[in-house]
Amino acid sequence: MVFSSLLFLFRFMPVTFLLYYAAPKRWKNFVLLIASLFFYSWGEIRFFPIMVAVILVNYFAGLAIGKWRTRRGLCRAILIISLVFSIGWLALFKYAAFFITNLNALTGLGLIVPTLTLPLGISFYTFQIMTYTVDVYAGKVQTERSLINFGTFVVLFPQLIAGPIVKYSDISRELHERKITLAQIQDGVAIFILGLGSKVLIANSVGALWTELSTDIGFANISTILAWLGLAAFTLQIYFDFSGYSLMAIGLGKMLGFTFPQNFNYPYISRSVTEFWRRWHMTLSGWFKEYVYIPLGGSRCSPGRNLFNLFVVWSLTGLWHGAHWNFVLWGVYYFALLVIERMWLRPMLDKHRLLSHVYAILAFMLGWALFAIEDLGQVGVFFGRLFIPHGGTDWMFYLRNYAVILVLGIFCQRPRLKSWRSSYQSGCNGYVSRFSVWYWCFPSHILSIQHTIHFYIGTFKEGAVCSF
């Protein structure tokens, strides 16, 4: 069940919010827990026992650490057990096949490669759970004694699928005491609609170009200009898809009385890779910095050790995104760029504003090529198309079909839209009586516009005359 589906918009969401708002204060977390478990179990009921087990193990681990806090050795053992248990499921479902395949290739053992379906949101909720047990052990947060509150934190449906990664400390106070106002609800509705529009109208539409090139045509059959055009489409798609989901999650959280951290801050206006990672998926970057980079020693060590720490962080960052070598290569790629910027490029980037922005955009786009193509052989083919000129007029056909949505995507990722968004949210707060109208009509209109965009794109592909 995804946020942009009709099932979520017109069945799960209205029923859940109706029950939530009608429930007494002391029952709201229970309603959220049941609704979130239902959301998680929809279509993946076989993973329900694993989710329950992860919740119980980490809940009791937190209680035990809080009870025996003075016995550091015992607490450390409990922490390790809870971490191994949580990470173990992630390793099994996400990385077992990857490691066994590579082990077979290196040793010729011929071990059976398991075929496992990845549980919904396991990468996100595993990291979130770890923030609780690690912070309890470090004394940064108090032990959560309510199983309902802890379970709500783990499976809270707005951020379960695609983040943002919410630490326990981010919402611990709101788990126990939160105030929900009508203005806050309307602000959440406005943010949710903006995220829904980003996902449905822009990401889905512009992403069709990359899908067609990568699956239907093949990289070996496209011109150089079309290769760059497709890469630009994917660059926009991944931003509006991911940031759209994050906006929807933040909006849903506001409607429920929670304040989730910002996850994107116009990353494509960055003038360096360093700045990009301060703006892109900020909760993930913050997580790796706080729970991996700093414990390893951070920057307060020798230059060689610092390089090692950075390499570990970015290798893990790549692997976190997927169990394929292209993701590892993607992580190492950013490690190399960050090191080069830190040691040599930063003074030049600071001096030349336009040049630095062009460099950053080129770096992002090439990075997304590594990210999007899992087959390393096809990576080579695609990069050959990018940098070895291949003629052809195929790009004219696709530019004609996708020009409008590409221009719209480029425009909407600029900060100038921020003031419009603020004005829109303020307008929402001024029409209290129209809340229900927005709720029912806007998602419908957004989905209708999506079908219209896809209709015209399909018409153009069939050879209809169009002028841009």
Q: Catalytic positions, please?
A: 321
Residue type, 294: I
Is the Cβ–Cβ distance between 316 and 288 less than 8 Å?
yes
Distances (CA, A) of 216 to 212, 331, 354, 449, 453: 5, 28, 36, 25, 20
The tokens describing 417, both together, are: 């839209």
Q: How far is CA 38 from the centre of its chain?
A: 22
Residue type, 433: S
DSSP, collapsed to helix, strand or coil, labels residue 65 as helix
As a whole number of angstroms, the longest Cα–Cα distance in the chain is 76
Is the Cβ–Cβ distance between 215 and 353 less than 8 Å?
no
Rounded to whole angstroms, the Cα distance separating 447 from 456 reads: 15
Kindly give, in sequence order, each residue whose CB lies less than 8 Å from that of residue 152, ignoring residues fewer than 6 positions away: 29, 32, 33, 36, 175
Residue type, 64: A
Residue type, 71: R
Which residue bears the tokens 């099932």? Answer: 7
Q: Which long-range contacts (CB under 8 A, 24 or more apart) does 448-453 make?
A: 449/200, 449/201, 450/200, 450/201, 450/204, 450/205, 453/201, 453/205, 453/405
Rounded to whole angstroms, the Cα distance separating 387 from 284 reads: 32
Rounded to whole angstroms, the Cα distance separating 161 from 120 reads: 7
